[in-house]
């Protein structure tokens, strides 16, 4: 009979809360996270600290000074480095036994084929641009994979208005509205949970995008909102994996 791997001491508080059986499920799980911005990087860190044993992270960007106010890998010392490389180093410093797969590519038809050939236990969508987000959600859902997706966190200030619900029940979010409109044409209207805020965005604060690939406009951000989004996405994943 195979001996069960010992749960590391740094996870004793998690084991106390969840129990050893659920912790072992997390250790044995493999999660894909697309996007290592303010939301995705926090989701990744929370999942690793919760005990997820294998992570695949995807992001094509390098760290810019404008990322420092909200993104886990963004420091003055990491400007110009790839987000995935900094996150890999950080996550392994949390859990040296963690298995991390990094991909520094843009989401498209060519890259998605290999990426989604792996049987992940859960998928997290933290992509912040519309076209690749639509494409990613469509492919993940049509493969029947479990998905947790982030709606728009920019331009929001009130943490009390952040919610988790089925995609079909999201409201007061421009990104969610556009996604529902586009995904409906692809036959996707519900069936996965999202994190969204019901807080209305002050339109006077929307500025034209400068030096931002595939973005026409930008919104201001405050560090705690995308962090809460990321942690709530992590909570969905942990709940789903441990309830099986």
Judged by phi (left if over 0) then psi (alpha if -120 to 50, else beta), residue 237 lies in alpha
Q: Using 50, 70 and 90 to split pLDDT, how confident is the model at 1? A: very low
Total domains present in the chain = 1
The reply to whether 5 falls in a domain is: no
* CATH number reported for the structural domain that contains residue 188 in this entry: 3.40.50.720
The reply to whether 192 falls in a domain is: yes
The reply to whether 7 falls in a domain is: no
Sequence-distant (6+) residues with CB within 8 A of 115 are 32, 56, 58, 103
- Model confidence, pTM: 0.93
The reply to whether 235 falls in a domain is: yes
User: What are the E-state strand segments in 69-150?
Assistant: 99-103, 122-125, 147-150
For residue 17, give the H/E element and its range.
helix 12-18
The reply to whether 30 falls in a domain is: yes
- Which carries the bigger pLDDT value, residue 6 or residue 169? 169
The reply to whether 8 falls in a domain is: no
Q: What is the mean pLDDT of the chain?
A: 93
**What is the spatial distance between Cα 133 and Cα 185, in angstroms, rounded to a whole number?**
15
Instruction: Give me the residues paired with residue 99 across strands.
Output: 54
Instruction: Give the model confidence (pLDDT) of 121-153 as tens digits.
Output: 999 999 999 999 999 999 999 999 999 999 999
Flag whether pLDDT at 2 surpasses 50: no
The reply to whether 2 falls in a domain is: no
**What is the spatial distance between Cα 173 and Cα 185, in angstroms, rounded to a whole number?**
19
Flag whether pLDDT at 204 surpasses 90: no
Instruction: Give the model confidence (pLDDT) of 75-127 as tens digits.
Output: 999 999 999 999 999 999 999 999 999 999 988 888 888 999 999 999 999 99
The reply to whether 54 falls in a domain is: yes
Q: Using 50, 70 and 90 to split pLDDT, how confident is the model at 219? A: confident
Domain holding 30, by residue range, is 17-243
Instruction: Give the model confidence (pLDDT) of 151-182 as tens digits.
Output: 999 999 999 999 999 999 999 999 999 999 99
């Amino acid at each position: 009979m195979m001996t069960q791997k010992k749960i590391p001491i740094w996870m004793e508080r998690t084991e106390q809360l969840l129990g050893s059986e659920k912790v072992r499920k997390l250790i044995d799980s493999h999660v894909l996270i697309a996007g290592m911005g303010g939301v995705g990087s926090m989701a990744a860190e929370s999942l690793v600290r919760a005990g997820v044993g294998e992570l695949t992270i995807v992001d094509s960007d390098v760290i810019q000074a404008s990322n420092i106010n909200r993104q886990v890998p963004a420091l003055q010392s990491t400007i110009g480095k790839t987000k995935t490389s900094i996150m890999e180093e950080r996550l392994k410093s949390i859990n040296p036994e963690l298995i991390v797969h990094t991909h520094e590519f843009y989401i498209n038809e060519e890259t998605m084929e290999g990426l989604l050939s792996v049987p992940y236990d859960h998928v997290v969508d933290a992509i912040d641009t519309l076209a690749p987000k639509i494409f990613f959600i469509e492919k993940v859902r049509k493969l029947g994979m479990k998905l947790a997706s982030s709606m728009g966190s920019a331009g929001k200030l009130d943490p009390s208005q952040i919610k988790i619900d089925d995609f079909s029940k999201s409201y007061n979010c421009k990104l969610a509205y556009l996604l529902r409109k586009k995904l409906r044409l692809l036959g996707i209207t519900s069936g996965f949970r999202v994190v969204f805020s019901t807080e209305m965005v002050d339109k006077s604060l929307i500025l034209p995008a400068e030096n931002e690939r595939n973005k026409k406009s930008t919104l201001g951000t405050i560090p705690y909102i995308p962090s809460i989004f990321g942690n709530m996405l992590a909570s969905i994943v942990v709940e789903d994996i441990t309830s099986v």
